[in-house]
Amino acid sequence: MMKILIAGGAGYIGSHMVKQLLHGGHDVVTLDDLSTGYRDAVLGGMFIQGSIADQELLDRMFAEHRFAAVFHFASFIQVGESVVQPARYYANNLVNTLSLLDAMVRHGVKHFVFSSSAAIFGEPHSIRIDEGHPVAPINPYGASKAMVEQVLRDYDRAYGLRSVSLRYFNACGASPDGELGERHNPETHLIPLALQAASGRRENLTIYGRNYGTPDGTCIRDYIHVCDLCDAHILALEYLQGGAASNAFNLGNGDGFSVQQVVDTVSRITGEIVPVIDGPRRMGDPARLVADAKKAHDTLGWKPRYADLDVIVSHAWTWEKRLSTGIWTGA
């Protein structure tokens, strides 16, 4: 059993992580400023409302608890917003992350697992993106993640802080028991938006472009279940605790699904019509983003449990029904 600090544990992926760690018998402390997260998504452990920018708070927390590791989920994630408000992204995703890392250094906490993103790669140069792919972000969101990865390499060398950066492709799905799921405000991601159109919470779904160089003309993405991402965090920590060097891994299923295929899957799984309208391309969307996750399989022993898109969509549908029928009563 370990005590782990989860920064951003009230958010979508962080809250699933807290749940999974508690289930594994670990001791969890969540730090979240609730700027985008929800208190009721933190299903157990200690909760502290506050910011990773608050050095005094961090000093108090690190003095009080002997953390074996820190998992960092507390970042802003909207690519489009990052283009028009880069200051917000560099302030939170980069500067505030430095604050968290510096507190770890001051208090001698050596293991860090970082939520990075496929967005660090920019326009893909290959069919599947492995770790050898050039890092060339095309928006401030991706740049902020790439910069933290650079900081982590330097902090390892200088301060012995060992880290694993996990580059998520398209995080999606929900806790299989329906207890947790995606609750972004505003929601910008394809699967929850398509499910909201299916449940009637939203009038329709706009497909951003049908003129890409893909078989059906819509963009292809690699959709990876949130619980599989959480599994990778635990494996990454075990890897670090085994004495391994700092590293970075791409996390996806290695299968690409087009926007139209996702819409068809949502219709089939829900039994509902997804009203669709065709819109223009969204700025900054590459035609195809698919992971080569062989390194995570080989090095961490990571194997996604919920690789089937039908399973991903059915878990997310259970959650959407909870939201759309008002059974969930939180803020």
Query: Which residues are known catalytic residues?
Result: 141
Instruction: Please identify, among the stretches 111-119, 123-131, 196-204, 244-252, the one whose residues bind ligand UFG according to the rule CB under 6 A.
Output: 111-119
Residue 104: helix, strand or coil by DSSP?
Answer: helix
Position 77 contacts ligand UFG (CB under 6 A): yes
Q: Where are the alpha helices (DSSP H) in 117-272?
A: 140-159, 190-199, 226-241, 259-270
Identified binder of ligand UFG from the candidate list 208, 299, 318, 321, rule CB under 6 A: 208
Q: x/- contact string, 153-182, with ligand UFG (CB under 6 A)?
A: ---------------x-x------------
Cα Rg of the chain (Å, integer): 19
Distance in Å, CB of 194 to ligand UFG, minimum: 8
What tokens were used for 175?
Answer: 């806790």
Position 291 contacts ligand UFG (CB under 6 A): no
Cα–Cα distance, 36 to 77 (Å, whole number)? 10
Half-sphere exposure of 265 (CA within 13 A, CB side): 20
Distance in Å, CB of 265 to ligand UFG, minimum: 13
What does the DSSP 8-state code read for residue 284? T
Instruction: Please identify, among the stretches 15-23, 92-100, 204-212, 248-256, the one whose residues bind ligand UFG according to the rule CB under 6 A.
Output: 204-212
Amino acid code (one letter) for 171? A
Residue 145: helix, strand or coil by DSSP?
Answer: helix
Distance in Å, CB of 307 to ligand UFG, minimum: 18
Strand partners, 276: 205
Q: 73 vs 42, 70, 259, CA distance in Å?
A: 13, 10, 26
Distance in Å, CB of 119 to ligand UFG, minimum: 4
Identified binder of ligand UFG from the candidate list 72, 183, 189, 315, rule CB under 6 A: 189
State the residues that interact with ligand UFG by CB under 6 A.
77, 79, 117-119, 168, 170, 188-190, 193, 205-208, 219, 221, 259, 282, 285, 289
